[in-house]
Structure 1
Amino acid sequence: MASINVSCVPRNPELLWLQAADEHRSYIISHDRALTKEPRCRRGDGGLNRLMQDAWRPETNTFHFPIGEATVTLQDVQVIWGLPIQGPPVCGKWVTKTRNVEYWKNLCQEYLGIYPEDDDLRKGRMKFNRLAGTITFEHWDPNDDERCQQMARRVILALIGSQLFPDSNSYDVSLNYLPFLGDLSIAGRRSWGSATLCCLYRNLSKGTWPTRQGIDGPLLLLQYWAWERFPRIAPRVTPFKPDDGEEEEVYEYGSCLANKWCGDHSNRDTPGHCKISFRSFFNALTPDQFEWTPYNNFINILPASCKTGRSIWRYMGPLICWEEVEFHLADRVARQFGLIQAIPDNDALVAPAQHKTLIKMRKARVDYCEVHADYIDQWNNRAQRIHQGDRGATCAPGYMQWYLERTVLTVGKPGQQQPPSQYPQWGVTQQFYVCVNNYLYIL
């Protein structure tokens, strides 16, 4: 009797062309081959973020789960963090070695009100600890407008360096963002949200490389997204307690949804924060364990900053952040917008040659507004690039059959003995059925 191996290669390779040998870390894991090194995760829940990375598919910029595709969207980045998504992209001329250290010192003096030492600067970057140490409100004069604006720029730059666009190689922050913060009255009109999402997509894609030794980017955004979408793995949160003598206050979201997770966390009834537990959960994921539209119940009570860009939440096109260009494909995750998920149009995907060109692009002494002029034109016409669909967060007939033939449902090594788990290996079972059908088709 012939044996059937559960493979991590899709039956139809037209979609996941990077799932070839040595192109995706999940292929290496499933073939029981050693990775160069287990990637480090500098922020958030390392076990959760690494398993999300294993399910990430750079070809589609989506996670592939047994229930279908899902991803972090423009809606998520605006609702969770309240970042603006309308406006021009975060793009321009990247300046590094073309300026001497005095240029950067004078820039810091003008915009931040500090004059750093030579040891605090390197190639247009400032040590994060040096910047953070200047954020203090002692002897604060709220009537000093110039001082207030300089302090605001320090806080914004610190957030940029620590949360939105953290550097993957060092713990410092680029000063190239300072010119964008010159006039704070218009700085918020730039699309910081789309740039943050582009940065997340790019770092997740790089994290799938077998030789990659670090995972970075806005991983706290990814963690909050996972907690909202997968309630069974989210910790219980106790809101901040009121001061003694005061009545208990009703919790409010405040400036953005992320405030929901600012209380004390309890993981008593959630999986252990390790790879084995999360791997079992994702392999066993069923439709009732994923929240397709988690914001519907409270979207109306969130502040306007979390909703002003809802007209482009279903945008189909490029996201830009300096040299990085990644594509936001709302048609692949229509259920996240309350629409019926039909078979997506693969013509919207980036061609392999174009993908390799974009992923290899590095920061250089060029004006990226000129380099990415075609992509910027597409972004500027975003109002005409909105995915349309019928209401109903379900699948169209034939979608799951189409999807199962073109994806990989297992995260890990198929057939490998796993520790006892409360989650059945439903994803492995689905993958087995696909492989059986493939075997019968060949016969």
Structure 2
Amino acid sequence: MPFGECTVTLQDVAFQLGLLVDGNAVSGCLAEFENFIEGGRPAWEWFQELFGELPLPNKVKNITVHFTWFHERFWVLPADATEDTVRIYARAYITMLLSTQLFGDKSANWVHIRWLPFVANLDDMGSYSWGSTALVWLYRCICRVVNRNVTNLVGPLQLLQSWIFWRFPSLRPYGWAAYLLPNDGKEQRVINYRLALDRC
């Protein structure tokens, strides 16, 4: 590792997760996000408009929806799906990814609907700086876990694991290279160059 670099950076996020680190800010109030919805309409009306239906009452808790509802409802895209149906399924999939992979919290199997403003317009999703937001969320989660009363670490842990894997060669499992796909050696050369750069 280069001297002084012992933290996950935006470069790591871009390299390891492939997320945009430069773009529009992903922002909003987490606690009272309903107050910031355009037009002042209730969040659940907007939810029904974006996903085509409302979940059953036993699948809703405050402003979260149980993961199983998304999983059961949007498991397989119908073969004869229209463009609107594809957009609904894409919104559901992105909402699940945001709530469980990038911005997971201790609710574990509950999907927060705070992502409605972002999935409402799928064409704008690529303009947001999801990488910097994921990095901030990771830092926030790490800061919370240092409290002695906190027992679980949450957040984009795949980023932290990937960072540890690439930045601390001594912590890699023995023989990990055997699991790489066979190729003409180009990928291994890239890995070797990356590791050599890290040692500089």
Say whether the 8 Å CA contact 2:70–2:96 is kept in structure 1: yes
Q: Runs of 4 or more off by more than 4 Å in structure 1?
A: 96-99, 248-253, 294-298
Q: Structure 1 121/104 Cα, relative in aligned 2: closer, same or farther at 3 Å?
A: farther
Q: Distance in 2 between matches of 1:98 and 1:189?
A: 23
| The structure with more helix, counted as a fraction of residues | 2
Q: Structure 1 133/296 Cα, relative in aligned 2: closer, same or farther at 3 Å?
A: farther
1:168 aligns with one of 77, 96, 106: 106
> Hey, what does 1:177 align to over in structure 2?
115
SS in 1 for 2:127: coil
Say whether the 8 Å CA contact 1:200–1:218 is kept in structure 2: yes
Q: Distance in 2 between matches of 1:82 and 1:185?
A: 18
Aligned positions, number: 188
Structure 1 segment 152-167 matched on structure 2, within 5 A? 152-167=90-105
Once the two structures are superposed, what CA deviation does each residue of 1:238-294 show, in whole Å capped at 9, x if it has no partner?
246xxxxxxx666998xxxxxxxxxxxxxxxxxxxxxxxxxxxxxxxxxxxxxxxx6
Say whether the 8 Å CA contact 1:166–1:217 is kept in structure 2: yes
Q: Distance in 1 between matches of 2:193 and 2:123?
A: 31
Structure 1 segment 239-254 matched on structure 2, within 5 A? 239=180
SS in 1 for 2:15: helix
Structure 2, unpaired ranges of 5+: none
Say whether the 8 Å CA contact 2:34–2:43 is kept in structure 1: no
Structure 1 segment 241-280 matched on structure 2, within 5 A? none
> Hey, what does 1:114 align to over in structure 2?
53
Q: Structure 1 186/168 Cα, relative in aligned 2: closer, same or farther at 3 Å?
A: same
1:189 Cα deviation (Å)?
A: 0.5
1:201 Cα deviation (Å)?
A: 0.6
Q: Report the AA paired with residue 136 of structure 1.
A: W
1:112 Cα deviation (Å)?
A: 2.2
> Hey, what does 2:147 align to over in structure 1?
209
Q: Report the AA paired with residue 184 of structure 1.
A: L
TM-score by structure 1 length?
Answer: 0.38
Greater Rg by CA: 1
TM-score by structure 2 length?
Answer: 0.79
1:221 aligns with one of 159, 170, 173: 159
Q: Distance in 2 between matches of 1:295 and 1:211?
A: 41
1:96 Cα deviation (Å)?
A: 5.8
Q: Distance in 2 between matches of 1:251 and 1:152?
A: 36
Q: Structure 1 181/252 Cα, relative in aligned 2: closer, same or farther at 3 Å?
A: farther
